[in-house]
Amino acid sequence: MLGPVILAASRSDRMRRLISAAPVTRQVVDRFIPGETVDEILPIIQELTGDGLELTMDVVGEDITTPEQATAARDAYLELIDRLKPLELGTRAEMSVKLSMFGQALPGGHELALANVRPVVEAAAGIGTTVTLDAEDHTTLDSMFAIHEELRKDVPGTGCVIQAYLFRTEEDARRLAASGSRVRLVKGAYKEPAEVAYQQKHEIDKAYVRILRTLMEGEGYPMIGSHDPRLISIAQELAHRAGRKLDEYEFQMLYGIRGDEHLRLAAEGHRMRVYTAYGTDWYGYFMRRLAEKPANLSFFLRSMISHD
Ligand SMILES: Cc1cc2nc3c(=O)[nH]c(=O)nc-3n(C[C@H](O)[C@H](O)[C@H](O)COP(=O)(O)OP(=O)(O)OC[C@H]3O[C@@H](n4cnc5c(N)ncnc54)[C@H](O)[C@@H]3O)c2cc1C
């Protein structure tokens, strides 16, 4: 119950100022967002890939208000790709992008986001890797899927994310599975109304399994974005039943959450990709992590109290 309350409160400017300025925040944020600059994140990329993990890199930021910020977002990804080039990691380090950060919510946003994301997708392809379009709130998804389809005409490996909590997703999954796409399935992290999304955990989990079956039986490449132990073992079973080999699907988890499980799955021979966020505009990403597990919030509040 607390999760939606945290997500709703996180939209307030006052809350943003309070959380961002709290003296203890940075220490807690580091657990989920382990760097602010490319220089800080490169050693972490090397450490994680050295441990046999693969990565998807997210330069944090969303809710931008000017086209200049969208251009800056594009440039931040281009800089990262440029710095990754000599490491020759190929698909072991891919990118995740939020189209809102590329201008999707601004006037003319659909075209602007496409124009900003295209060079990132092309630059990533140039170093032998791919980009996945994250899924944001439900009002942005028609635009996201249209951009995904457009980008795939030139770079078919471009991936996208679908959210099990939305009623529409079973149909989206059928379309994407038939088109042979790379698709990350997640439960969904935004506050969505009952008109468009399941509200109960058991309903979301059941939808996740139905959608995962569609992806596993389809033509595409399923990416299982979850830390839920039950869903991870169901995914292994569904992959086995669909006759998929270990390199025909992958698991994905967030940096800072169930790190032992990342290593366990990789040691078992699974492709295990860690979603690793970095940058200065971490507020929205951080608040979603607090909302997913209210224990994180009490840890955060306790740290603030003990600091005072
Ligand atoms: C790789 C990846 C990419 C994602 N991309 C998107 C996206 O594009 N759009 C979107 O809407 N959502 C995205 N999400 C978030 C997702 O929608 C869920 O909110 C999140 O993964 C929590 O759901 P869960 O499947 O882990 O299951 P849950 O039932 O929430 O969690 C299962 C267990 O995992 C652990 N856990 C989960 N979350 C946390 C946390 N924050 N802190 C500490 N422990 C935790 C707990 O032990 C918990 O019991 C992504 C998630 C992953 C893993």
> Is the pLDDT confidence value at 306 over 90?
no
Using a pLDDT cut of 90, give the percent of the chain over it. Answer: 81
- In angstroms, what is the span from residue 111 Cα to ligand 1's centroid? 30
| 9 or 292: which leads in pLDDT | 292
57 class by beta-carbon count within 10 Å (0-12 exposed, 13-18 middle, 19+ buried) = buried
Please write the tens of the pLDDT for every residue from 263-272: 999 999 999 9
* Angle CA 158–266–165, to nearest 5: 50
Retrieve residue 81's tokens.
């790709």
- In angstroms, what is the span from residue 86 Cα to ligand 1's centroid? 32
Class of domain 34-281: alpha beta
Q: Is the CB of 62 under 6 A from ligand 1?
A: no
Query: In a mutational test of the pocket of ligand 1, which residue from 161, 201, 226 has the highest number of ligand atoms less than 8 Å from its CB?
Result: 226
| Residue 237: pLDDT band with limits 50, 70, 90 | very high
Active site residues: 134, 184
Measured from the Cβ of residue 83, the count of other Cβ atoms closer than 10 Å reads 14
Measured from the Cβ of residue 43, the count of other Cβ atoms closer than 10 Å reads 11
Please write the tens of the pLDDT for every residue from 159-178: 999 999 999 999 999 999 99
Q: Is the CB of 169 under 6 A from ligand 1?
A: no
- In angstroms, what is the span from residue 272 Cα to ligand 1's centroid? 15
Q: Is the CB of 291 under 6 A from ligand 1?
A: no
Please write the tens of the pLDDT for every residue from 27-76: 788 899 999 999 999 999 999 999 999 999 999 988 799 999 999 999 99
Does the pTM surpass 0.85? The reply is: yes
- In angstroms, what is the span from residue 203 Cα to ligand 1's centroid? 16
Lowest mean pLDDT of 101-115, 162-176, 285-299, name the range: 285-299
> Is the pLDDT confidence value at 134 over 90?
yes
Closest residue (by CA) to atom 34 of ligand 1? Answer: 227
Q: Is the CB of 163 under 6 A from ligand 1?
A: yes
